Amino acid sequence: MRFVEKKEDADIILVGFPVDQGTENKGCLDAPFEIRNSFENFYFSETGEMKNIFDSSDTVEGENFGETMNRIKTKISKLLENNKPIISIGGNHSITLPIIQGFSEKKYDIGIVFIDAHPDSQKNYFPFGDVIPKIVEQKIPIVMIGLRNWSQDEYNFLIENKIPFIHAKDFELNKALQLIKNEFDGKQIYVSLDIDAIDPGFAPGTGCIEPCGLTSRDVLELIKKIDNKIGFDLVEINPGKDINNITINLGAKLIFEIANNWKS
């Protein structure tokens, strides 16, 4: 990464949200530290593009889940005053909701691309398990990509709320890009990537192992080619469950390439 010391000199702002609260699967709070350490394994982007990155450090958990969510929203709202795209490193998937709330409060007209093995639409299933219903309540449009495990209630929620999705078994890069363009034409795009969208052969270090997922290259190329991105988060990497740092290195690689090939 090419890091700069001043926000004014940056093309993109990086921030960490080491959050474990809100789920029974603990360990994701270690991911921002480990991913940052792995940046040193990557020297120059695959395309030769290099952006200036300002690292805004971490926002740590509060005494309770509600305080943590408020801290994240406040941090994002403050960073958005710099008018720069933001890349967030989680932490579990609960961080996405306050990030989106921060964008909404700043009146960004956004569409959200969720790349995930699960639709996270199970009401009252821990705070992070109903992220999507809470975003739907705010009337923010969503596209979901990579789904392959859901409850019947979650499936019914997607159908009833007419949320477009592409199942992992049906994934094609051009098909996904066309869906995003059709749904969000003219909007700025926020992308949230749960690492379990990627097949565990590529990313074993996560709390929910879901076979038959997307390839790491599929996901990288998809996110790189989404136009008009305003923000991106990477969540649910759990270093304690990783094997030989495979997932940590993948997370660092994804952020490195997405940041340095950012299409605003």
Q: Which residue has the higher pLDDT, 153 or 172?
A: 172
Distance CA 103, CA 91 (A): 19
Which residues make Cβ contacts (< 8 Å) with residue 117, sequence separation at least 6?
Answer: 146, 147, 148, 149, 168, 194, 196, 197, 208, 210, 213
Q: How many folded domains does the chain comprise?
A: 1
Distance CA 262, CA 215 (A): 20
**What is the domain range of residue 242?**
2-260
Q: In the sheet where 110-115 sits, what is the strand order?
A: 2-3, 52-58, 12-17, 86-90, 229-235, 188-194, 110-115, 142-147, 165-167
Q: Has residue 264 got a pLDDT over 80?
A: no
Average pLDDT of span 167-179: 97
Looking at residue 125, its pLDDT comes to 65
- CATH number, domain of 117, equals 3.40.800.10
pLDDT, tens digit (0-9, with 9 covering 90-100), for 2-18? 999 999 999 999 999 99
Which pTM value belongs to this model?
0.95
pLDDT, tens digit (0-9, with 9 covering 90-100), for 200-227? 999 999 998 999 999 999 999 999 999 9
- Cis check for the bond before 91: say yes or no (omega within 30 of 0): yes
